[in-house]
Amino acid sequence: MTEKNQIADMPNGTSERADHSPTLAEKAEEGTTIAAPPAQSSNQNRVDGGLMAWIQVVAGWSIFFNTWGILNTFGIFQTYYESGALFSETSSNIAWIGSIQALTLVTVGLVSGPLYDRGYFSALMLVGSFMMVFSFMMLSICHTFWEALLAQGFCFGIGAGLVYVPTLAVLPTYFSKKLGLAVGIAASGSSLGGVIYPIVFYNLINSVGFGWAVRTIGFIMLGTLLLPVCLMRVRIKPARPRAFLDWSAFTDWPFAFFTFSTMIGFLGLYVVMFFVSYFAEATGVASDKMAFYLVPFLNASSVFGRTIPNYISDRTGPFNLFGPAAIICGILAFCLIAVTSLGGVVAITVLYGFFSGVYIALPSVCFVRLTADKTKIGTRIGMGYAFTSLAVLAGGPGGGGVLGTGVVELHWNSLWIYGAITTLTSGVMLIALRFWMTKGKILMRI
- Tell whether 248 is covered by a domain: yes
Answer whether residue 73 is part of any domain: yes
Domain CATH number, residue 165 = 1.20.1250.20
Least confident of 13-17, 282-286, 337-341, 436-440: 13-17
Across residues 10-15, what is the average pLDDT?
38
* Whether residue 409 has pLDDT greater than 70: no
Place 241 in a pLDDT band, splitting at 50, 70 and 90: low
- Note the helical H segments in 171-287: 179-205, 209-231, 253-282
The model's pLDDT over 302-318, given as tens digits with 9 standing for 90+, comes to: 888 878 887 888 888 88
Average pLDDT of the residues in 126-140: 96
pTM exceeds 0.75: no
Average pLDDT of span 422-439: 92
Q: What's the pLDDT tens digit per position in 43-57? A: 445 566 788 889 999
Average pLDDT over residues 274-283: 86
What is the predicted pLDDT for the residue at 351?
Answer: 94
Q: How many domains does the chain have?
A: 1
Residue 126 domain boundaries: 3-437
Look at residue 442 and tell me if it is in a domain.
no
* Mean pLDDT, residues 20-36 taken together: 38
Does 445 map to a domain?
Answer: no
CA torsion angle for 193, 194, 196, 201 (degrees, to 10)?
120
- Of residues 78 and 257, the one with the higher pLDDT is 257
Would 152 be classed as within a structural domain? yes
Higher-confidence residue: 327 or 119? 327
State phi, psi for 184 to the nearest 5 degrees: -65, -45
Q: Return d(Cα 49, Cα 172) in angstroms, integer.
A: 11
Say whether pLDDT at 176 is over 80. Answer: no
Residue 243 lies in a domain: yes
Average pLDDT over residues 140-147: 93
CA neighbor of 78 nearest in space, from 330, 294, 239, 318: 294
pLDDT tens-digit map of 74-89: 888 988 998 888 888 8
399, part of any domain: yes
Instruction: With respect to residue 18, please indicate whether it lies within any of the assigned structural domains.
Output: yes
Instruction: Supply the angle between the helices 253-282 and 74-82 in degrees, to the nearest 10.
Output: 40
Residue 7 has pLDDT above 50, yes or no: no
Percent of the chain at pLDDT above 90? 34
Q: Is it the case that residue 6 has pLDDT exceeding 60?
A: no
pLDDT of residue 45: 52
d(CA 175, CA 56): 11
| 67 or 181, higher pLDDT | 67
Concatenated DSSP letters of 13-71: G--TTPPP-HHHHHHHHTT--EEPPTTS-GGGG-----HHHHHHHHHHHHHHHHTHHHH
